[in-house]
Chain A
Amino acid sequence: MTPLLSVQGITKRYGPHIGCADVSFDLYPGEVMGIVGESGSGKSTLLNCMAGHLTPDAGQVVFDTRTDGPRDTITMSEPERRMLGRTDWAFVHQHARDGLRMGVSAGGNVGERLMAVGERHYGDIRDKATDWLGRVEIDASRVDDRPTTFSGGMQQRLQIARNLVTGPRLVFMDEPTGGLDVSVQARLLDLLRGLVRDMGLSAIIVTHDLAVVRLLADRLMVMKLGRVVEAGLTDQVLDDPQHAYSQLLVSSVLQV
């Protein structure tokens, strides 16, 4: 089987500092991979390098495109990469306002991504947008309201709807449940799991919440100081961590 995403030797430096160094892995269709590590471990840098938001100093990010098969997205032209970002890729930001247009209605936020891939029929766009608001449990009566009138959890769900409406194959998520209270987190996790299963999505989730990765991710990478110190099956890494840092990370979680 061809990996959906094949990352090889990704390195990003900020001057003399290492953002992330020599990270390699393959992600297969339908797999969800978690990346954990403390603040400053390089996990967000890595995510942004993979998603094309940052240009790495070295390495390849090879994506299995629908039309041309595996292509290195780092060396691909800017318009091609942008097209990927609107179609097969999705990026869920930690702060919903970074991923939403706050001055546009909820329906408009979802519809915009559809228009970006060429949909023009207003009725169809509105129907699809309303359908997706329903899937993320936002009441259809809110379709014309701006996200500024939404709660944090609703904004996050709207961001997810906006991202998934075009049926992407790979979703990058940066702390998708960060900053939400726990009852909203549970709801979002349930939603994400259902979407991953039903749409056959692959996802890369950066988080520092080990409970989130246990429930959402099949595989886990642990990062420290820009390097991957351990990788494997999520429950194996969490229940039988091998590296000193992973052991410290797992044993530091407060029990509720």
Chain B
Amino acid sequence: MIELKNVSKTFTLHNQGSAVIEVISDVSFAVAPGECVALTGASGAGKSTLMRMIYGNYLTQAGEIRIGGLDIVRSEPRDIIKLRRDVLGYVSQFLRVVPRVPTLDVVAEPLRALGVPADEAQDRASALLTQLNIPERLWSLSPTTFSGGEQQRVNIARGFAHSYPAMLLDEPTASLDAANREVVLSLIEDAKARGAAIIGIFHDEAARTRVCDREIDVGRFTPGMAA
């Protein structure tokens, strides 16, 4: 489902003496449907960078990243937009929303973008928010004023609203209490069971052991960091 072949990335900082920083070099791996793979490595090893490259958020200088047959390194923006709408979900560490939009609509939005009718999308959003223990009195408020943990749960609800065949999860259990952590882990297990290919970053070792089938040490691909 997700396949990386000889993927490399450099950052060129034009305004800081044109410094060229090699961050990732020659990564190859594949994730099959129903499989969850953890990216591991020390801080700064490039885990989030690699994940952002797979999402098309960072540009990849060399290699191929195929998701469901589409090579996102060589795709037009509109193909990537379509891929993100239908196929590839991403739960980032930060919630970014238009201010003033109610939480329920924020969570329902990925479904609305797919053409799901408003009431059906809101039903799904309500179910997820309930499952993630966001009190109903908060649903009509914008999540911009919520606590960190609440924002993260809204972000997760939004990420799981549509059953994406491929998912990227950046620290989905960080800053959650035990009960909510359990909910998130079971959401991940459900997604695996329905055949989603998942790549995750988990600092929570117990969570990683529980949901991930394999680990990939990104440090191996970081020039200058290999021990």
Which A residues contact B (CB, under 8 angstroms)?
A: 28, 31, 186-187, 189-190, 193, 197, 214-215, 218-219, 232-233, 235-236, 239-240, 242-244, 247-248, 251
> Judging by beta carbons under 8 Å apart, are B77 and A190 in contact?
no
- Asked if B137 is at the interface (CB within 8 A of a chain A CB), the reply is no
Complex Cα distance, B74 from A160, in Å, reads: 37
> Judging by beta carbons under 8 Å apart, are B81 and A186 in contact?
no
Name the one of B13, B14, B15, B98 contacting A190, with C-beta atoms under 8 angstroms.
B98
Instruction: Tell me the minimal C-beta distance from A225 to chain B in angstroms.
Output: 16
The residue in B52, B77, B80, B112 that gathers the most chain A C-beta atoms within 10 A of its C-beta is: B77
Chain B positions within 8 Å of A215 at CB level? 98
> Judging by beta carbons under 8 Å apart, are B58 and A233 in contact?
no
> Judging by beta carbons under 8 Å apart, are A244 and B14 in contact?
yes
> Judging by beta carbons under 8 Å apart, are B78 and A242 in contact?
no
Q: Which residue of A lies closest to B102 (CB)?
A: A190
Instruction: Tell me the minimal C-beta distance from B75 to chain A in angstroms.
Output: 10
Which B residues contact A (CB, under 8 angstroms)?
A: 11-15, 52, 56-59, 77-78, 80-81, 96, 98-101, 112-113
Complex Cα distance, B14 from A230, in Å, reads: 14
> Judging by beta carbons under 8 Å apart, are B77 and A240 in contact?
no
The residue in B59, B78, B81, B96 that gathers the most chain A C-beta atoms within 10 A of its C-beta is: B78
> Judging by beta carbons under 8 Å apart, are A236 and B58 in contact?
yes
> Judging by beta carbons under 8 Å apart, are B100 and A235 in contact?
no
> Judging by beta carbons under 8 Å apart, are A186 and B99 in contact?
yes
Q: Which residue of A lies closest to B55 (CB)?
A: A235
Complex Cα distance, B15 from A248, in Å, reads: 7
Complex Cα distance, B112 from A235, in Å, reads: 21
